Amino acid sequence: MSPVIRGALWMSGAILSFTSMALAGRIIGLELDTFEIMLYRSMIGVVIVLTIASATGHLGDIRRQKMGLHLIRNISHFTGQNLWFYAVTVAPLAQVFALEFSAPLWAMLLSALILGEALTKARVLSGLMGFVGILIVTRPGLQEFGIPQITAALCAVGFAGSAVFTRLLTRTENITSILFWLTVMQTVFGLICAGIDGEIAIPTSGAIPYIVLIAGAGLLAHFCLTTALSLAPAAIVMPIDFLRLPLIAITGALLYSEALDPFVFIGAAVIFLANYNNIRRASR
């Protein structure tokens, strides 16, 4: 199996994990603000990473090199993730995910500028096809476009930066070290931002399972994403994330009675073709 196909399979695991996070985030967002969610998620993440690393003998893999790059990567992710948690509590899930999917376009551009990855005609075509699919779903100008939608769109920039700097880190750093510094740094960020007003809400017993789910799914998503980015270029791996759109659209319709717009599936079909074309050409 080629590295590109393996990267695509790992990205599928990230898709399922991110979807679980969205559902749990919508529920817990009624009780905690986004900074508090990130704080508790990251604290649990530190424990999970250290426990697994200790059990598998990988504690020694945690290094203090490239701390500046870790910092930039985690600032990008922390910003994007907070915007994303806010968006999933105030906007339809399918709409949030559709707007978030401009991230591969940003990642493709940043990969060429920062990582020196080739921006071939095939990759540009796949990115443009994916963007057309997004336009079909969102139909700008025909639907309401306010703060929730702008927030979802901006989170994509943060996620793209996180993905590109993750790809850069995988050139010299191992996954255990990347995930450890992810959880540690974002615990600090969360503590500062959540406590800046002098109040940090304590989760209720009913909220704790959802926080644990967010933490576990978040780490699994990043493990899958980091592994995928270590196997294939970001410009190929990131567009696969478009497949979250039809999955979350169906989930939103079943759980929250959100309108199941046929344009979502038309756009998703275009997005799927874009991903298929990108992976097939890269495999060759």
How many domains is the chain partitioned into structurally?
1
Q: What percent of the chain stands above pLDDT 70? A: 95
**Rounded distance, CA 262 to CA 259, Å?**
9
Structure tokens at 79: 């910003």
Q: Which residue is listed with tokens 């270029």?
A: 233
Q: Which range marks the domain in which residue 63 is found?
A: 3-283
Buried b vs exposed e over 83-98: b needs ≥16 C-beta within 10 Å? bbbbbbbebbbbbbbb
- Tell me which residue of 161, 159, 274, 173 sits closest to 230, measured CA to CA: 173
- Dihedrals φ, ψ of 200, to 5°? -125, 115
Query: Which tens digit of pLDDT belongs to each residue from 118-164?
Result: 777 877 887 788 788 777 877 766 566 678 878 888 898 898 899 88
Amino acid at 28: I
- Round to whole Å and give the CA distance between 44 and 57: 20
Q: What digits encode the pLDDT tens for the residues 24-46?
A: 998 998 889 999 999 999 999 89
